[in-house]
Structure 1
Amino acid sequence: MSYRQIDTPALLIDNKILNRNIDAMQQYADEHKVDLRPHTKTHKMAELAIKQKKAGASGITVAKTGEAEVMAEAGIDDIFIANQVIGRAKVERIRKLSESINVSFGVDSIYSVKEIDEVFEGADKKAEVLIEIEVGEKRSGIIEEDDFIELLDAVKDSMNVRFKGVFSHDGHTYKAASVDELKALYDESSTRTLHFADIARNHGMACEVVSIGSTPPFVLGFELPEGITEIRPGTYILMDGSQANVIGTNDTCAATVLTTVISKPTSERVITDVGAKGLTQQHRKVGLTATAGLGKIAGFDDVHIDGMFDEHAIINNQQFSDQVEIGDKVEVIMNHICPVSNLYDKAYLVENKEVLEEIEVAARGKLQ
């Protein structure tokens, strides 16, 4: 059927753009001779993760244990949880996963190492951990070198935990005001990650993996410094309005939300049937990724959602209003794809205005 027959709101994925994005990032990784371990929190779809693996990805990244379980059930056997996993119940689930797949996860505290060591007592193989390095995002991760060495010693002294390497996330690059500033932040982040890898090596604990991640530096084609072994971009596969602003085009945006015009109460106000429950109210305020409004209307110049209620999008644009009628369907390029994927049970894969298949958002709601 034509995708215009789909009931709305609905999450759409353009098949041609999707495949082009997958191939482009894999080519980038291959050219730089590093592993690509895409972050699947962007789409939460096992079918898309399998596509990424078939294209050459070494494994996948997830954010939560529940996501790892869904992806493992789908047959993906090499998974990194790029997050601190705190709580015996979650660590016990990882131990169970480790019986059938290769799974590793993040730590940044001695508390975590001790808990993991206890839970993995008697397991057939050790828990594999990477230490997160804070590189400027002001989120989780090790900051001080002394704390890093103490954490290395805690892992070394444990009986059931194996040190696999270090990882970082340079999410603060999203706030860069220019490509030059983004490049400087990326270089600083990469250098800091490699510095901690050197500390570990000099401490007798070589890093099998030195992993960095975020989409902007890679879609901009920045060089990778020697010593990086793995990259973990996520958004690149579907892209979104904020990331598209970095490269100055919406041509790589594979995902949109289809929505129906349901009301035109004034000559310029247009209301559609998707609100915060289908798009979120996220937007970026500064830097290259800054967005105007709460979503772009695809195919219309400078038309965006001005306001939002739970189930209503508000567009105030006279020219747009003159071009659409009640019952028409339009597509929204969301500001941030990752939380939007988590709002839908399924996505429609489309090509040449026809629906190819429905894809289950299998990891939707897997927050634990």
Structure 2
Amino acid sequence: MKKNQLDTPSLLIDREIMMDNIERMQSYANKYGVTLRPHTKTHKMPALAKLQVDAGAKGITVAKVGEAEVMAENGLNDIFIANEIVGEVKLNRIKKLAETIDISFGVDSIEQCETIEKVFSDSQKQAQVLIEIEVGENRSGVIEESDYIRIVEYIKNCSHVNLKGIFSHDGHTYKAKDLEECRELYNAAQKRTLHFAHLAQELGCPLETVSIGSTPPLMHDFGVMEGVTELRIGTYILMDVSQGNAIGTYDRCAASVLTTVISKPTSERVITDVGAKGITMQSRSQGICATTGLGYIKNYGVHIDQVYDEHAIIYNEEFRNQVTVGEKLEIIPNHICPVCNLYDHAYLVSGDEVVEEVPILCRGKLQ
């Protein structure tokens, strides 16, 4: 089948670009002697996760327990949940997974650890946890050294919880005003993460894993500091408009949404059949990843101006005169991660040929 024979909207993935992205990032990790643990929340597809592992990734990262369960069911056996896992229901699910795979997850409070110790008290395996360190994104993670020390000391005295390592996410690099600031933020985040690793060492708790990562700085050769053991990144495999803006090209954007022109009601307005339910309404307002509009139309150099639930609107007279009702276009999304979660399957394409239909098995696994 040719890709233009697909019904719309459809999620497309250029196989060659994707494989090149996988190989490039694996080579980057190999260059610096660290392991790669891709964050699969970007694509939510076990089939793509297996490609990343086959290329050399040590294991994978997920965001939710439900994603971990699906990935495990499909043969992935080394999984880190890069999130604080709270509550006995979820912890019991992790305990069940730990019977058959290597699984670890995030913590940032003693309250969590108290519940983990209780839930895993009847398990043959200790819970494997990593403490999250806040490095500037202003999200979750330990901020104060005193809090970190208390958590480390608490875990040291646990019988059923093992401190495997620490992790951080320098997501604030997306908002860097230029590449030099991106480098500075990335380096500061590494230094802060390593400082907490050294604190653990001083407390008699050496760490197996010191995990960092976000896509923008790792698309440039900013290096990896000694002491970091793992890169944990996601968007690089498919890329999107925001990441393309950060590197100055959309040539490495593997994913797009195929859509059909359904109306040209005025001399400048074009409407296609995908809206917020197929490309989201996401945009980025500042920094190297800042976006224009709500999606980029490949080969035409125009952006989507407005979306409704099921409609994308472009206001551009020249573009309106170039396309016809019924014509199919490709949109590069601003942010690919939530877009993948909107589709039941993606189509791998090579040139104009559809070569495989890939189920998005982790779609909707939010618990």
How does the TM-score come out when normalised to structure 2? 1.00
Match of 2:303 in 1: 304
Paired AA for residue 357 in structure 2: E
TM-aligned CA deviation for residue 154 of structure 1: 1.3
Instruction: Give 1:158 shift.
Output: 1.3
SS of structure 2 residue aligned to 1:250: coil
- For 1:3, give the aligned amino acid: K
Equivalent residue, structure 1, for 2:312: 313
Aligned length: 367
1:153-302 superposed matches below 5 A: 153-301=153-301
Partner SS for 1:251: coil
Aligned mates of 1:248, 1:299 — CA distance in 2:
16
**What is the distance in 1 between the residues matched to 2:184 and 2:336?**
26
- Residues 147-179 of structure 1: CA deviation (Å, up to 9, x unaligned): 000000111111100000110000000000100
Structure 1: which 5+ runs fail to align? none
Runs of 4+, deviation exceeding 2 Å: none
**1:51 corresponds to which letter in structure 2?**
L
The AA in structure 2 aligned to 1:355 is: V
Q: Which position in structure 2 is the counterpart of 1:10?
A: 10
Cα distance in 1 for residues equivalent to 2:111 and 2:157: 13
Q: Deviations over 1:296-326 (max 9, x none)?
A: 001112x000000000000001111111000
Please report how far the alpha carbon of residue 352 of structure 1 lies from its aligned counterpart in structure 2 after TM superposition. 1.4
Distance in 1 of aligned mates of 2:181 and 2:56: 31
Q: Distance in 1 between matches of 2:221 and 2:354?
A: 32
SS of alignment partner, residue 105 of structure 1: strand
Q: Structure 2: which amino acid aligns with 1:343?
A: L
For residues 10-51 of structure 1, the C-alpha deviation after alignment (integer angstroms, 9 at most, x for no partner) is: 100000001000000000001110000000000000000000
Matched residue type, 2:304: I
User: What's the secondary structure of 2:243's corresponding residue?
Assistant: helix
Deviation of residue 269 (structure 1)? 0.2
Please name the residue that 2:364 is paired with: 365
Give the CA deviation at 1:126.
0.1
Q: CA shift at 1:345, angstroms?
A: 0.1
- After TM superposition, give the deviation of residue 132 of structure 1 in Å: 0.1
Report what 1:331 is aligned to.
330
Measure how far apart 1:139 and its partner are: 0.1
Offset at residue 223 of structure 1 (A): 0.6
> 1:263 Cα shift?
0.3
- Percent identity (aligned): 60
- 1:44 alignment partner, SS class: coil
Give 1:21's aligned amino acid: N
1:72 corresponds to: 72
Aligned equivalents of 2:82, 2:121: Cα separation in 1: 23
Aligned equivalents of 2:31, 2:259: Cα separation in 1:
39
Query: Distance in 2 between the 1:280 and 1:174 partners?
Result: 19
By how many angstroms is 1:262 displaced?
A: 0.2
Q: Which runs of 5+ in 2 are unaligned?
A: none
Following superposition, the deviation at residue 122 of structure 1 comes to 1.6
- How far the C-alpha of 1:218 sits from its partner, in A, is 1.1
> Which amino acid is the alignment partner of residue 358 of structure 1?
E
For residue 40 of structure 1, give the secondary structure of its aligned residue in structure 2.
coil
Deviation at 1:79, TM superposition (A): 0.2
How many angstroms does 1:201 deviate by?
Answer: 0.4
Tell me the residue number matched to 1:346: 345
What is the letter of the counterpart of residue 37 of structure 2?
R
The 2-side partners of 1:323 and 1:69 are apart by: 47
One-letter amino acid of the counterpart of residue 365, structure 2: K
Q: Which amino acid aligns with 1:162?
A: N
One-letter code aligned to 1:284: R
Deviation of the 1:222 alpha carbon: 1.2
1:123-162 superposed Cα distances (whole Å, 9 cap, x missing partner):
1110000000000000000000000000001111111000
CA drift of 1:227 comes to: 0.4
Cα deviation for residue 105 of structure 1 reads 0.3
Matched position secondary structure for 2:141: coil
1:353 counterpart letter in structure 2 = D
Distance 1:87 1:29 in 2: 34
For 1:22, the aligned partner's letter is I
Q: What letter matches 2:22 in structure 1?
A: I
Question: SS at 1:121's partner residue?
Answer: helix
Q: CA RMSD in A?
A: 0.5
Equivalent AA in structure 2 for residue 258 of structure 1: L
Instruction: Report Cα offsets for 1:57-95 as digits up to 9, x if no partner.
Output: 000000000000000001010000000000100000000
